[in-house]
Structure formats: structure tokens, C-alpha cells
Structure 1
Amino acid sequence: MSSPIKCLGKWFDASLQDRDNVRKLEQQVQDGLKKIDSCGLPGKFKAWLYQHALLPRLILPMMLYEVSGTAVEALERSASRHLRK
């Protein structure tokens, strides 16, 4: 019962809530932004990586899990902060 089960791309655990999955999504965003930020490319290429590499990986989990509006706004703020650098 402690190990999560994956069904149709969505992970289910014993609590049957999306809270843990939303935390994993937030961590994935932070890790992706750090990787993009640490690469030695100019700013416009970092923006391209964000748009064409990170965002497509985030679309499906955002559609599958019940992500609150405040969590999405927090993710947008952190992405905007990294892109403005």
C-alpha cells in the first residue's frame, strides 16, 4: 500500500490526493529552471529551452493533476524570475 501505482500516466498513492504530485511538479520546475540557468548559453537560448524543453514536460502533469490556481501562479512567478535574469 505504501508504493504508488501509475495508471494512464497518473500516479496514485494511498491518500488518493494530488498534493504530493503537485509538490513533485513544483520540484521538477525548480530543478529544470536551475539546469537551464546554470548552462552557459545566452539569455535568448535559455528562453528557448524553457519554452521548448521545460514547458512541454509540464503540460501533461498540469492537465492530469488538480493543481490549484495559487500553485500555478507561484510556478509562473518563479519561472518569470528566472527568465528575467
Structure 2
Amino acid sequence: MKNLRIREIAGQKNIKISEIAEFAECSPQMMNNYLNETHGIPLDKLFKIANKLNCEIFELINVSEKLDHLYTGSGEWLGIRKK
């Protein structure tokens, strides 16, 4: 399981990874390294990515099997809850 949900959230919002990389001021190769988790992503980059995706930084992080991300019917993120 990947620890980051950047691809998933970007897909839901129809935002290309290349747009995110440009906004986060990193090369496409480095963005791929972050997404493939071959390099840790700096917190400042994660904040920029969340800003570009118009979401909370916590929404970009996968949670344990006992927790789940909670959304409204219209797709608005409400937070993390127990399953």
C-alpha cells in the first residue's frame, strides 16, 4: 500500500501530475520519485501539492486499515474516521 494518495486525489479532480509538479516547483522526475516513494517528499512540497489539489494535507495520506477517509455525497472531504 502506498502512503500517499496524490494520484488518486489528482485523478478525482482531473489535475495532471505534470501540473502538480510545476506548481510544487519540482521536476517531473522528482515528482515521480515522490509518487513511487523512492524519495521522501518534503513537507513544504506536500503543502504545495495539497494547495494545488484544493484539499487538506491529511487527505493526501493513506490511513490504517482501521480508519477511513470520510466524504460527503458531493465529494467534499470531512476527515478521517474509524471504520
TM over 0.5: no
Q: Which has the higher contact order (CA 8 A, sep 6+)?
A: 1
Greater radius of gyration (CA):
1
More helix by share: 1
Please give the TM-score of this superposition, normalised by the length of structure 1: 0.25
More strand by share: 2
Please give the TM-score of this superposition, normalised by the length of structure 2: 0.25
